[in-house]
Amino acid sequence: MAQPHTPISMVYGPVQSWRFGRSLGIDPIGAISVCSYNCVYCQLGTIERLQSDRQCFVPTQQIHHDLQAFAPWDVDAITLSGSGEPTLALNLGEIITMAQQMTQRPVGVLTNGSLLSDPQVQQDLGQADAVAVKLDAVQPTLWGRINRPVAPASLPELWDGIQAFRQGYKGHLAIQTMMLSPWDEASQATYVQLMQAIAPDEIQINTPTRAQPDRHVLSARGNAPNYSPSDSLRRFKSVSVEVLQQMSDRIQAATQIPTRCPSPALLSR
């Protein structure tokens, strides 16, 4: 006799994060991973569908239903991320507003920034209490190798989109950077100049600590991915906490912008 199908919840966690505290995750993308990037370090595994066009993946009503199971929302924040790039969801603004009204918690969005040049995306994201935008490199060639964006895409376009969004955004803007190896002096100096130009509220410097499976693993949305014995896992050598702290201290001293990196205990996990 066939087993009954168990629906996949689009709400997961709570997830413990050094950046956002105890957070409940909302996945506006769904069971199939969809993104405008295919980052080499992505903890979700190889992205199943690469696209840059927006569409509605998960109805807002379904997310509302899934959220109800987590009441009374004993968390610090609600975070939209999940199975890909959340700004691809056409109902992003609806989801943000619904989650704010329903949970009475601040709602944040983690984005790769690839759609920030779109005025509608800027308007949707503008409703979030906090937005964290990825910027993993300041050299176009290296950026392309790390983030592997859907063509056509360029680092200058990404930067223009971040600047356009920053001009109108009233919430808390963070720039998050994933370091796969130590940066040279020229790259650090360029990064400092960019941060001075954009003036985010916070800078987050990180390094990969999670394995990348060779397939999409939905449970990798949270803290405890459920890999199977047959999964092939790619692991990156993390940049040392000393290097992260040195870069963090340099950026903060040069920009006066609060800059954070994970503690040694978190990197050792």
Mean pLDDT of the region 96-101: 97
Q: Please write the tens of the pLDDT for every residue from 201-227.
A: 999 999 988 766 666 666 666 666 666
In this prediction, residue 124 carries a pLDDT of 97
In this prediction, residue 268 carries a pLDDT of 40
Q: Please write the tens of the pLDDT for every residue from 105-158.
A: 999 999 999 999 999 999 999 999 999 999 999 999 999 999 999 977 899 999
3-state secondary structure of 260: strand
State the pTM of this model.
0.90
In this prediction, residue 17 carries a pLDDT of 80
Mean pLDDT of the region 174-200: 95
CATH class of 11-219+233-267: alpha beta
In this prediction, residue 173 carries a pLDDT of 98
- Residue among 18, 13, 77, 15 at smallest CA distance from 207: 18
Terminus-to-terminus CA distance in the chain, angstroms? 41
More confident residue, 208 or 259: 259
- Whether 164 shows a pLDDT value over 70: the answer reads yes
Alpha-carbon gap, residue 129 to 111, rounded angstroms: 14
In this prediction, residue 219 carries a pLDDT of 60
What single-letter DSSP state applies at residue 179? -
| Dihedral sign, Cα of residue 97, residue 14, residue 77, residue 158 | negative
β-pair type (130-134, 172-178): parallel
